[in-house]
Structure 1
Amino acid sequence: MSGSLLVLFMVIIGAVIGGITNAIAILMLFRPYRSLYIGKWHIPFTPGLIPKRRKEIAFQLGKMVSDHLVTPQSIQKKFQDPQFLQDMTSLVQQEAKRLFTSEKTIKEWMELAGVQDLEKRLERYLKKKMEKTIVEMGNSYSSQTIKDVLSPETIRKLEEKLPDVSAYILQHAMNYFSSSDGKQRVKKMLDDFLAERGMMGSMLQMLLGNSSIVDKILPEMMKFLRNPGTNEILLSIIRAEFEKMLEWKWERILSEWLDKNTVEKGTEFIVHQFNTETFFQKTLSDLLNSYEEEILKQYIPRLVEKAAPFFSNRIQTIIEKLRIADIVREEVESFSLERIEKMVIEIANKELKAITYLGALLGGVIGLLQGFVTLLVP
Structure 2
Amino acid sequence: MDKFWFVLFMGIIGAVIGGVTNAVAIRMLFRPHNARYIGRWRVPFTPGLIPKRKSELARQIGKIVDEHLLTPESIEQKLNEPEVRGEIEAFLQIEAKKWMQSDITIAEILQKAHFSNAGANLEARMNEWIDQKYTAIKDFYVDQTVKESLPAEWLDKAEEKIPNVSAYILTKSADYFSSEEGRYRVKRMTDDFLAEWGKFGSVIQMVLGNTSLEDKIRPEIVKFLTSPGTKDLLDTMLKSEWDKVVEWKWADVLEQFSDEKAMQKTKKFVAGQLDLETFLNQPLSAYAVPFEEKVTSTLIPELTAKGITKMAKRIPSMMGKLKIADIVRQQIETFSTERLEMIVLDITHRELKMITWLGALLGGLIGILQAVILMAFPT
**2:131 aligned residue:** 131
Change (3 A) 1:358 1:149: same
Distance 1:314 1:286, change over 3 A: same
Q: Structure 1 stretch 126-135 or stretch 250-259: which is displaced more?
A: 250-259
In 1, Cα distance between equivalents of 2:121 and 2:32: 62
1:196-235 pair list within 5 angstroms: none
Structure 1 stretch 349-358 or stretch 98-107: which is displaced more? Answer: 98-107
- How far apart are the structure 1 equivalents of 2:238 and 2:8? 128
> What stretches of structure 2 of length at least 5 have no aligned partner?
174-188, 199-220
Match of 1:259 in 2: 259
Deviation (angstroms), 1:44 = 3.2
- Residues 131, 264 of structure 1: 8 Å contact kept: no
RMSD of aligned Cα (Å): 5.0
Equivalent residue number for residue 141 of structure 2: 141
Partner of 1:365: 365
The answer as to whether partners of 2:14 and 2:366 remain within 8 angstroms in 1 is: yes
Looking at structure 1, the residues matched to 168 and 47 of structure 2 have their Cα atoms a distance apart, in angstroms, of 101
Q: Which residue of 1 aligns with 2:355?
A: 355
Q: 1:133 to 1:76 in 2, by over 3 A?
A: same
Partner amino acid, structure 2, of 1:59: R
Structure 1 unaligned regions, length at least 5: 174-188, 199-220
Q: Is 1:330 the counterpart of 2:330 in the alignment?
A: yes
Q: Give the aligned partner of residue 11 of structure 2.
A: 11
| Counterpart amino acid of residue 93 in structure 1 | Q
- 1-side partners of 2:237 and 2:4: how far apart? 137
Partner of 1:94: 94
Q: Distance in 2 between matches of 1:7 and 1:129?
A: 102
Instruction: Give, as a single letter, the amino acid of the residue that structure 1 aligns with 2:151.
Output: S
Matches within 5 A, 1:271-282: 271=271, 273-282=273-282
Q: After superposition, what is the alpha-carbon deviation per residue over 1:287-307, rounded to whole angstroms, capped at 9, x for unaligned?
A: 222222122222233333434
Q: Residues 142-190 of structure 1: CA distance to partner in whole angstroms, max 9, x if unpaired?
A: 12122322223334555677799889999999xxxxxxxxxxxxxxx99
Q: 1:336 to 1:96 in 2, by over 3 A?
A: farther
Tell me which residue corresponds to 2:295. Answer: 295
Offset, 1:261: 6.8
Alignment match, 1:47: 47
The change in CA–CA distance for 1:25 and 1:103 in structure 2 (over 3 A counts) is farther
Larger Rg over CA atoms: 2
Kindly provide the CA deviation profile for residues 315-339 of structure 1, in whole angstroms up to 9, marking residues without a partner as x: 3323222322223223333444444
CA distance in 2, matches of 1:92, 1:294: 13
Does structure 2 retain, via aligned residues, the 8 Å contact 1:79–1:309? no
Task: Note the C-alpha offset of 1:136.
Answer: 1.5
Question: What is the alpha-carbon distance in structure 2 between the residues aligned to residue 284 and residue 90 of structure 1?
Answer: 21
Question: For 2:33, what is the secondary structure of its paired residue?
Answer: coil
Moved more, 289-298 or 271-280: 271-280
Q: 3-state DSSP class of the match of 1:325?
A: helix
TM-score in terms of structure 1 length: 0.71
Tell me if structure 1 keeps the 8 A contact 2:101–2:289: no
